[in-house]
Structure 1
Amino acid sequence: MEKQSEPSQARLRVETDIYALSKVQGWFNQFKPRMSNKVWMQCNLALTEGFTNVVCHAHERLPDHTPIDIEVELGADYLVMQIWDYGAPFDLMAKLATLANTEESLDDIDNLPTGGRGLMITDAIADELSYDRLTDGRNCLRIKKNLFPPE
Protein backbone atom coordinates (compact mmCIF):
# COMPACT_ATOMS: atom_id res chain seq x y z
CA MET A 1 0.00 0.00 0.00
CA GLU A 2 1.49 3.30 -1.14
CA LYS A 3 1.06 6.28 1.19
CA GLN A 4 1.21 9.71 -0.39
CA SER A 5 0.95 13.15 1.21
CA GLU A 6 -0.49 15.14 -1.73
CA PRO A 7 -4.11 14.39 -2.56
CA SER A 8 -4.83 13.12 -6.04
CA GLN A 9 -8.09 13.51 -7.93
CA ALA A 10 -9.69 11.74 -10.83
CA ARG A 11 -12.96 12.38 -12.62
CA LEU A 12 -15.16 10.23 -14.78
CA ARG A 13 -18.33 10.94 -16.74
CA VAL A 14 -20.56 8.13 -17.94
CA GLU A 15 -24.07 7.98 -19.32
CA THR A 16 -27.04 6.61 -17.42
CA ASP A 17 -26.50 2.96 -18.25
CA ILE A 18 -26.20 0.14 -15.74
CA TYR A 19 -23.66 -1.49 -18.08
CA ALA A 20 -21.35 1.49 -17.50
CA LEU A 21 -20.75 0.05 -14.02
CA SER A 22 -17.89 -2.08 -15.36
CA LYS A 23 -16.24 1.09 -16.72
CA VAL A 24 -16.73 2.83 -13.35
CA GLN A 25 -15.21 -0.09 -11.46
CA GLY A 26 -12.32 -0.41 -13.92
CA TRP A 27 -11.62 3.32 -13.51
CA PHE A 28 -11.74 2.97 -9.70
CA ASN A 29 -9.05 0.26 -9.81
CA GLN A 30 -6.39 2.99 -10.15
CA PHE A 31 -6.78 3.74 -6.43
CA LYS A 32 -6.31 0.17 -5.22
CA PRO A 33 -2.51 0.33 -4.72
CA ARG A 34 -2.89 3.25 -2.31
CA MET A 35 -5.10 1.57 0.31
CA SER A 36 -5.63 -1.73 2.03
CA ASN A 37 -7.58 -4.36 0.12
CA LYS A 38 -10.34 -4.27 2.76
CA VAL A 39 -10.81 -0.48 2.53
CA TRP A 40 -10.64 -0.57 -1.28
CA MET A 41 -13.35 -3.26 -1.38
CA GLN A 42 -15.56 -1.26 0.98
CA CYS A 43 -15.13 1.88 -1.12
CA ASN A 44 -15.75 -0.04 -4.34
CA LEU A 45 -18.99 -1.39 -2.84
CA ALA A 46 -20.11 2.09 -1.76
CA LEU A 47 -19.29 3.46 -5.23
CA THR A 48 -21.23 0.61 -6.85
CA GLU A 49 -24.24 1.24 -4.61
CA GLY A 50 -24.15 4.98 -5.29
CA PHE A 51 -23.84 4.56 -9.05
CA THR A 52 -26.57 1.91 -9.17
CA ASN A 53 -28.94 4.12 -7.17
CA VAL A 54 -28.43 6.95 -9.65
CA VAL A 55 -29.18 4.70 -12.64
CA CYS A 56 -32.11 2.83 -11.08
CA HIS A 57 -33.72 5.59 -9.03
CA ALA A 58 -32.49 9.16 -9.59
CA HIS A 59 -32.29 8.84 -13.40
CA GLU A 60 -35.06 6.26 -13.77
CA ARG A 61 -37.20 8.53 -15.95
CA LEU A 62 -34.40 10.51 -17.58
CA PRO A 63 -32.84 9.86 -21.01
CA ASP A 64 -30.00 7.34 -21.21
CA HIS A 65 -27.60 10.08 -22.34
CA THR A 66 -28.04 11.93 -19.00
CA PRO A 67 -24.53 12.18 -17.55
CA ILE A 68 -23.38 10.83 -14.22
CA ASP A 69 -20.25 12.58 -12.97
CA ILE A 70 -17.96 10.86 -10.48
CA GLU A 71 -14.96 12.32 -8.70
CA VAL A 72 -12.55 10.64 -6.32
CA GLU A 73 -10.08 12.52 -4.17
CA LEU A 74 -7.49 10.38 -2.42
CA GLY A 75 -5.43 11.95 0.33
CA ALA A 76 -2.81 10.47 2.62
CA ASP A 77 -5.41 9.19 5.07
CA TYR A 78 -8.83 9.58 3.40
CA LEU A 79 -10.80 8.93 0.25
CA VAL A 80 -13.74 11.09 -0.84
CA MET A 81 -16.09 9.93 -3.58
CA GLN A 82 -18.68 12.26 -5.07
CA ILE A 83 -21.40 11.21 -7.48
CA TRP A 84 -23.56 13.86 -9.17
CA ASP A 85 -27.01 13.15 -10.58
CA TYR A 86 -29.92 15.07 -12.12
CA GLY A 87 -32.74 13.32 -10.26
CA ALA A 88 -35.33 14.76 -7.93
CA PRO A 89 -34.11 15.79 -4.47
CA PHE A 90 -34.01 12.95 -1.93
CA ASP A 91 -33.63 13.23 1.84
CA LEU A 92 -30.99 10.60 2.50
CA MET A 93 -30.68 11.33 6.21
CA ALA A 94 -34.45 11.01 6.75
CA LYS A 95 -34.46 7.68 4.88
CA LEU A 96 -31.53 6.39 6.95
CA ALA A 97 -33.27 7.50 10.15
CA THR A 98 -36.43 5.67 9.09
CA LEU A 99 -34.43 2.53 8.33
CA ALA A 100 -32.56 2.77 11.64
CA ASN A 101 -35.88 3.05 13.50
CA THR A 102 -37.12 -0.13 11.91
CA GLU A 103 -36.00 -2.78 14.34
CA GLU A 104 -36.30 -5.49 11.70
CA SER A 105 -33.74 -3.69 9.53
CA LEU A 106 -31.12 -3.98 12.24
CA ASP A 107 -31.79 -7.64 12.93
CA ASP A 108 -32.61 -9.02 9.49
CA ILE A 109 -31.28 -7.03 6.54
CA ASP A 110 -32.90 -9.53 4.15
CA ASN A 111 -36.35 -8.24 5.14
CA LEU A 112 -35.64 -4.62 4.20
CA PRO A 113 -37.75 -3.07 1.47
CA THR A 114 -36.14 -2.37 -1.88
CA GLY A 115 -33.63 0.47 -1.66
CA GLY A 116 -32.87 0.08 2.01
CA ARG A 117 -30.04 -2.41 2.01
CA GLY A 118 -27.63 -0.46 -0.16
CA LEU A 119 -28.21 2.74 1.78
CA MET A 120 -27.56 1.01 5.08
CA ILE A 121 -24.44 -0.68 3.74
CA THR A 122 -23.11 2.61 2.34
CA ASP A 123 -23.86 4.35 5.64
CA ALA A 124 -22.01 1.61 7.54
CA ILE A 125 -18.97 1.89 5.23
CA ALA A 126 -18.76 5.68 5.18
CA ASP A 127 -17.17 7.77 7.88
CA GLU A 128 -19.09 10.75 6.48
CA LEU A 129 -22.10 10.55 4.17
CA SER A 130 -24.24 13.28 2.64
CA TYR A 131 -26.59 13.83 -0.29
CA ASP A 132 -27.26 17.45 -1.13
CA ARG A 133 -29.15 19.41 -3.77
CA LEU A 134 -26.88 21.91 -5.53
CA THR A 135 -27.79 25.29 -7.02
CA ASP A 136 -27.19 23.95 -10.55
CA GLY A 137 -30.07 21.46 -10.16
CA ARG A 138 -27.91 18.42 -9.55
CA ASN A 139 -27.58 16.30 -6.44
CA CYS A 140 -24.26 15.21 -4.97
CA LEU A 141 -23.72 12.02 -3.00
CA ARG A 142 -20.54 12.48 -0.95
CA ILE A 143 -18.90 9.49 0.71
CA LYS A 144 -15.80 9.96 2.85
CA LYS A 145 -13.79 7.01 4.11
CA ASN A 146 -10.83 7.23 6.46
CA LEU A 147 -8.11 4.94 5.15
CA PHE A 148 -6.61 4.31 8.57
CA PRO A 149 -9.44 4.16 11.11
CA PRO A 150 -8.54 5.20 14.67
CA GLU A 151 -7.81 2.32 16.99
Structure 2
Amino acid sequence: MPGSQKFRLQVRSDLRALDQVLSWFDQFDESPIPNTTWMECKTALAEGMTNAIRHAHKDRSSDSPVEIELTLFPELLEIRIWDCGPGFDIDGWLADEQPPLDNEDLEHGRGLLMMQKLVDRLSYDRTADRRNCLLMVKHFPPQ
Protein backbone atom coordinates (compact mmCIF):
# COMPACT_ATOMS: atom_id res chain seq x y z
CA MET A 1 0.00 0.00 0.00
CA PRO A 2 1.40 3.47 -0.84
CA GLY A 3 2.89 5.30 2.09
CA SER A 4 3.32 2.19 4.21
CA GLN A 5 6.48 0.86 5.80
CA LYS A 6 6.85 -2.77 6.89
CA PHE A 7 9.32 -4.14 9.44
CA ARG A 8 9.87 -7.70 10.70
CA LEU A 9 11.57 -9.37 13.63
CA GLN A 10 11.88 -13.03 14.55
CA VAL A 11 12.75 -14.13 18.08
CA ARG A 12 12.92 -17.33 20.09
CA SER A 13 9.89 -18.42 22.09
CA ASP A 14 11.32 -17.14 25.35
CA LEU A 15 9.92 -14.44 27.62
CA ARG A 16 13.41 -12.96 27.88
CA ALA A 17 13.00 -11.95 24.21
CA LEU A 18 10.24 -9.51 25.19
CA ASP A 19 12.77 -6.76 26.02
CA GLN A 20 14.32 -7.21 22.57
CA VAL A 21 10.88 -7.01 20.91
CA LEU A 22 9.89 -3.85 22.78
CA SER A 23 13.24 -2.16 22.05
CA TRP A 24 12.84 -3.08 18.38
CA PHE A 25 9.30 -1.63 18.39
CA ASP A 26 10.43 1.61 20.05
CA GLN A 27 12.83 2.41 17.25
CA PHE A 28 9.80 3.09 15.00
CA ASP A 29 8.14 5.56 17.38
CA GLU A 30 7.56 8.43 14.98
CA SER A 31 6.20 11.87 15.79
CA PRO A 32 3.00 11.63 13.63
CA ILE A 33 1.76 8.85 15.91
CA PRO A 34 0.26 10.21 19.14
CA ASN A 35 2.13 9.04 22.24
CA THR A 36 -1.02 7.52 23.75
CA THR A 37 -1.60 5.47 20.60
CA TRP A 38 2.02 4.30 20.62
CA MET A 39 1.85 3.21 24.26
CA GLU A 40 -1.44 1.37 23.71
CA CYS A 41 0.10 -0.52 20.79
CA LYS A 42 3.26 -1.27 22.74
CA THR A 43 1.17 -2.68 25.59
CA ALA A 44 -0.89 -4.78 23.16
CA LEU A 45 2.32 -6.02 21.50
CA ALA A 46 3.77 -7.05 24.86
CA GLU A 47 0.59 -8.91 25.77
CA GLY A 48 0.33 -10.61 22.37
CA MET A 49 3.97 -11.70 22.49
CA THR A 50 3.57 -13.00 26.04
CA ASN A 51 0.46 -14.96 25.04
CA ALA A 52 2.24 -16.51 22.06
CA ILE A 53 5.05 -17.75 24.30
CA ARG A 54 3.02 -18.77 27.36
CA HIS A 55 0.01 -20.27 25.64
CA ALA A 56 0.55 -21.05 21.96
CA HIS A 57 4.10 -22.34 22.51
CA LYS A 58 3.69 -23.79 26.01
CA ASP A 59 4.46 -27.32 24.79
CA ARG A 60 7.12 -26.28 22.27
CA SER A 61 10.84 -25.76 22.38
CA SER A 62 12.15 -22.30 23.16
CA ASP A 63 13.73 -22.49 19.70
CA SER A 64 10.25 -22.23 18.17
CA PRO A 65 10.13 -18.90 16.36
CA VAL A 66 7.76 -16.06 17.08
CA GLU A 67 7.64 -13.59 14.22
CA ILE A 68 6.50 -9.99 14.60
CA GLU A 69 5.61 -7.62 11.80
CA LEU A 70 4.88 -3.92 12.13
CA THR A 71 3.31 -2.03 9.26
CA LEU A 72 3.06 1.74 9.57
CA PHE A 73 0.55 3.67 7.48
CA PRO A 74 -0.13 7.43 7.56
CA GLU A 75 -3.22 6.95 9.77
CA LEU A 76 -2.95 3.46 11.26
CA LEU A 77 -0.55 0.78 12.30
CA GLU A 78 -0.80 -2.99 12.13
CA ILE A 79 0.98 -5.46 14.33
CA ARG A 80 1.07 -9.11 13.40
CA ILE A 81 2.44 -11.86 15.64
CA TRP A 82 2.84 -15.36 14.20
CA ASP A 83 3.07 -18.45 16.38
CA CYS A 84 3.23 -22.20 15.71
CA GLY A 85 0.72 -23.30 18.34
CA PRO A 86 -2.54 -25.20 17.95
CA GLY A 87 -4.65 -22.04 17.65
CA PHE A 88 -8.01 -21.23 19.15
CA ASP A 89 -11.23 -19.36 18.38
CA ILE A 90 -10.55 -15.84 19.66
CA ASP A 91 -13.91 -14.51 18.43
CA GLY A 92 -15.77 -17.25 20.26
CA TRP A 93 -13.74 -16.69 23.40
CA LEU A 94 -14.28 -12.93 23.36
CA ALA A 95 -18.01 -13.37 22.65
CA ASP A 96 -18.44 -15.81 25.55
CA GLU A 97 -19.94 -13.88 28.43
CA GLN A 98 -19.68 -16.66 31.01
CA PRO A 99 -18.39 -15.41 34.38
CA PRO A 100 -15.08 -16.86 35.61
CA LEU A 101 -15.43 -20.08 37.61
CA ASP A 102 -12.62 -19.55 40.12
CA ASN A 103 -9.62 -17.36 40.89
CA GLU A 104 -7.45 -19.10 38.28
CA ASP A 105 -10.02 -18.23 35.60
CA LEU A 106 -9.90 -14.59 36.72
CA GLU A 107 -6.30 -14.44 35.48
CA HIS A 108 -6.97 -16.36 32.26
CA GLY A 109 -7.91 -14.23 29.29
CA ARG A 110 -7.58 -10.77 30.83
CA GLY A 111 -4.82 -10.01 28.32
CA LEU A 112 -7.15 -10.71 25.41
CA LEU A 113 -9.77 -8.39 26.83
CA MET A 114 -7.12 -5.72 27.37
CA MET A 115 -5.83 -6.08 23.80
CA GLN A 116 -9.39 -5.85 22.49
CA LYS A 117 -9.86 -2.54 24.35
CA LEU A 118 -6.49 -1.10 23.28
CA VAL A 119 -6.79 -1.71 19.53
CA ASP A 120 -9.48 -1.09 16.94
CA ARG A 121 -9.33 -4.57 15.42
CA LEU A 122 -8.15 -7.86 16.93
CA SER A 123 -8.14 -11.19 15.12
CA TYR A 124 -6.34 -14.52 15.40
CA ASP A 125 -6.40 -16.75 12.33
CA ARG A 126 -4.73 -19.89 11.04
CA THR A 127 -2.58 -19.19 7.98
CA ALA A 128 -1.90 -21.37 4.93
CA ASP A 129 1.56 -22.25 6.30
CA ARG A 130 -0.08 -23.76 9.43
CA ARG A 131 0.87 -20.93 11.73
CA ASN A 132 -1.44 -18.56 13.60
CA CYS A 133 -1.47 -14.82 13.09
CA LEU A 134 -2.61 -12.39 15.76
CA LEU A 135 -3.51 -9.15 13.99
CA MET A 136 -3.91 -5.89 15.88
CA VAL A 137 -4.91 -2.71 14.03
CA LYS A 138 -4.93 0.76 15.59
CA HIS A 139 -6.10 3.95 13.84
CA PHE A 140 -4.90 7.41 14.80
CA PRO A 141 -5.77 10.91 13.61
CA PRO A 142 -3.70 12.37 10.76
CA GLN A 143 -1.08 14.85 11.88
TM-score, reference length from structure 1: 0.85
32-41 vs 112-121, which moves further? 112-121
Give the 4+ runs in structure 1 shifted more than 2 A. Answer: 110-115
Q: Quick one: structure 1 residues 112 and 77, their matched pair in 2 at CA, closer, same or farther if it must change by over 3 Å?
A: farther
Percentage of pairs with the same residue: 39
Partner residue, 1:79? 77
Partner residue, 1:48? 46
Partner residue, 1:24? 21
- Partner Cα distance (1:13, 1:114) in 2: 28
Query: What CA deviation, in whole Å up to 9, does each residue of 1:94-136 have, x standing for no partner?
Result: 11111xx2468xxxxx996223211001001111111001121
Q: Indicate which of 4, 8, 15 corresponds to 2:5.
A: 8
Alignment: residue pair count = 138
Q: Quick one: structure 1 residues 133 and 146, their matched pair in 2 at CA, closer, same or farther if it must change by over 3 Å?
A: same
- Are positions 1:66 and 2:59 aligned together? no
Q: Is the partner of 2:92 in helix, strand or coil?
A: helix
Partner residue, 1:123? 116
- Partner Cα distance (1:115, 1:51) in 2: 15
Unmatched 5+ stretches in structure 2: none
Unmatched 5+ stretches in structure 1: 105-109
RMSD (Å) for aligned C-alpha atoms: 1.9
Q: Is the partner of 2:22 in helix, strand or coil?
A: helix
